[in-house]
Amino acid sequence: MSASDNQVIQSLPQLLALQQTAFRSEGPVSAATRKDRLQRVIDMLIKHCDPFCATMEADFGGRSPVFSMMNDVAGSLGSLKHARDHLDNWMQDQTRPSVQPFDAFGATAWVKYQPKGVVGIIGTWNAPLFTLLSPLASVFAAGNRAVLKPSEIAPRTAELLQQAVAEFFKADELTVVQGGPAVAAEFSKQAWNHLVFTGATSVGKLIMKAASENLVPVTLELGGKSPVIIGTGANIANAAERIAVGKGANSGQLCVSPDVVWVHETELETLLTEIQSVYQGLFPTTADNIDVTPIVNERHLDRVSSYVKDADAKGARIVVAGDDNAAHRRLPLRMVVNPSADSEIATYEIFGPALVIRTYQTLKQAVAEINAGERPLALYYFGTDSSEQAWVLDHTLSGGVSLNDVVMHPALHDAPFGGVGASGMGHYHGHEGFLEFSHARSVYSAGGHDPRREWGMLPPYSEQFAQMIRGAITP
């Protein structure tokens, strides 16, 4: 562990205490304060958007600034602006039915939504701004303070984010800490009022275990082998184009990237040919193409390459889409057809420019095999048969769904984004994100008259009251 990491680790308890003290001293967090915090994040992103895109390009070794501007900057801004523009309504107390028969004497009830306190947010390298600032929109809308921990795999972006946040915020309101795995491990052990983590399922388990020591509630956005189901009546050309576009985004280094495509065996060759054609049009060259995002580092390059080599060695068919002249960690798309169940690419989330293609004879067979695995973060269906679509939705479970497209539902700012089971828990975005980071506090207010004594409802209990209670025990 480096000296700088050790210094950050030593400072974490003091930093958390600083924010918690400020939170308690502040009292109720007004809508104006929440909007101001959200607006300052928006202003920060707008001011530094080009430098941020430059750091992400450098961290990836050549990621297109256009993609970074679209995915991380514009994506984060969408979350922040939606929260800013809707939090007034979200903050309102919710009237609830009171206790009978006391409501007849003026008793009322409501739910009050209050901030939890200080939230820790651990982001990831594949979307180094979005995975921090999109959940932050919900955190700030709920009235909390926050500490951000960017990924050390994108160090230039982390450094710029730390500087930019310090320019717009005091440390007791929002701050950034940097460091490697040791810092992330210690970060997850702190007594946050809520903890957010985006990353691998294996790490998510460690995060949750560490958080449990302080009973810290967690929001985990993980991943999994997000499947695509191409229905029996689907337009194969359209499905191929949407899949190629979605898989080409960030070279498959997205948590909701398509991982396994299920297609009827009679449509396999058409699908492969169509994906090849579309991918070649999107990325006519590979090695020197700024639009082809490099694999983030050599370790991940070796990991993705080993998945394909292992499948090849075990007899799978490999079909290449795009220019095969790979260099500078840029790879074409490799489609792995019907790999063996024990192959690495069939076992682990790919998170790179490779795609498993599996054939089915019946749709029920495909759904059964999907359901035999862990629940994914995303599921995609292509087809025009509304009854078949409804059947797929009713017989599968995933974090979210896109129909006749891929990777689009996370862009819904007014709908929850998150996983289920091995793909995560909790969610952010929209009203549900506000609720995630708020404490829903039930409030009962008594009326002006309490009839319990005159009705014999207090000890010593009368036989008349006992019979009245017994009479209330009904189906």
What's the CATH code of the domain at 149?
3.40.605.10
Q: Do 78 and 117 share a domain, yes or no?
A: yes
> Is residue 446, in this structure, part of any structural domain at all?
no
Number of domains, the chain: 2
Tokens for 169, please give them.
């915020």
How high does pLDDT run on average in the chain?
97
Q: What is the pLDDT of residue 162?
A: 98
How many Å is the Cα radius of gyration of the chain?
26
What distance in Å separates the CA atoms of residue 426 and residue 194, rounded to the nearest whole number?
Answer: 11
Q: Do 267 and 392 share a domain, yes or no?
A: yes
What distance in Å separates the CA atoms of residue 445 and residue 296, rounded to the nearest whole number?
Answer: 57
Residue 135: how many other CB atoms lie within 10 Å: 33
Q: Do 394 and 287 share a domain, yes or no?
A: yes
Local confidence band at 453 (pLDDT 50, 70, 90 cut-offs): very high
CB-based contact 178:157 (threshold 8 Å)? no
Mean pLDDT within 310-314: 98
Q: Which tens digit of pLDDT belongs to each residue from 18-51?
A: 999 999 999 999 999 999 999 999 999 999 999 9
Mean pLDDT within 136-140: 98
Q: Do 203 and 261 share a domain, yes or no?
A: no
Local confidence band at 358 (pLDDT 50, 70, 90 cut-offs): very high
Q: Do 299 and 319 share a domain, yes or no?
A: yes
Active centre residues (catalytic): 221, 255
> Is residue 177, in this structure, part of any structural domain at all?
yes
Is residue 318 helix, strand or coil?
strand
Residue 373: how many other CB atoms lie within 10 Å: 14
Residue 201 has pLDDT above 80, yes or no: yes
Q: Do 324 and 203 share a domain, yes or no?
A: no
Q: Do 165 and 231 share a domain, yes or no?
A: no
For 295, phi and psi rounded to 5 degrees?
-60, 140
Phi-psi group of 179: left, alpha or beta (phi > 0 → left; psi -120 to 50 → alpha; rest → beta): left
> Is residue 451, in this structure, part of any structural domain at all?
no
Counting residues of the chain whose pLDDT is more than 90, the rounded percentage is 96
For 67, phi and psi rounded to 5 degrees?
-65, -45
> Is residue 463, in this structure, part of any structural domain at all?
no
> Is residue 459, in this structure, part of any structural domain at all?
no
Q: Residue 208 belongs to what domain range? A: 3-222+425-439
Mean pLDDT within 299-318: 98
Local confidence band at 134 (pLDDT 50, 70, 90 cut-offs): very high
What distance in Å separates the CA atoms of residue 389 and residue 445, rounded to the nearest whole number?
Answer: 47
Q: Do 275 and 209 share a domain, yes or no?
A: no
What distance in Å separates the CA atoms of residue 106 and residue 103, rounded to the nearest whole number?
Answer: 5
Tokens for 229, please give them.
């189901």
CB-based contact 76:129 (threshold 8 Å)? yes
Q: Which tens digit of pLDDT belongs to each residue from 237-246?
A: 999 999 999 9
Q: CA 116: distance to chain centroid?
A: 20
Local confidence band at 154 (pLDDT 50, 70, 90 cut-offs): very high
Q: Tell me, what CATH number does 366's domain have?
A: 3.40.309.10
Q: Report which DSSP code applies to 249.
A: G
Q: Do 368 and 267 share a domain, yes or no?
A: yes
CB-based contact 252:301 (threshold 8 Å)? no
Counting residues of the chain whose pLDDT is more than 70, the rounded percentage is 100
Q: Do 248 and 209 share a domain, yes or no?
A: no
> Is residue 159, in this structure, part of any structural domain at all?
yes
Q: What residue ranges in 116-182 does DSSP mark as E strands?
A: 118-122, 145-149, 174-176
Local confidence band at 3 (pLDDT 50, 70, 90 cut-offs): confident
For 87, phi and psi rounded to 5 degrees?
-65, -25
Q: Do 96 and 231 share a domain, yes or no?
A: no
Residue 1 has pLDDT above 80, yes or no: no
What distance in Å separates the CA atoms of residue 268 and residue 275, rounded to the nearest whole number?
Answer: 11
> Is residue 232, in this structure, part of any structural domain at all?
yes
Contacts of 383 (CB under 8 A, 6+ apart): 229, 230, 231, 232, 233, 234, 389, 404
For 400, phi and psi rounded to 5 degrees?
-155, 175
Positive/negative CA dihedral, 164, 167, 171, 174: negative
Where among 418, 447, 470 does a domain terminate? Answer: 418
Q: What is the pLDDT of residue 2?
A: 85
Q: Do 285 and 151 share a domain, yes or no?
A: no
What distance in Å separates the CA atoms of residue 203 and residue 149, rounded to the nearest whole number?
Answer: 15
> Is residue 51, in this structure, part of any structural domain at all?
yes
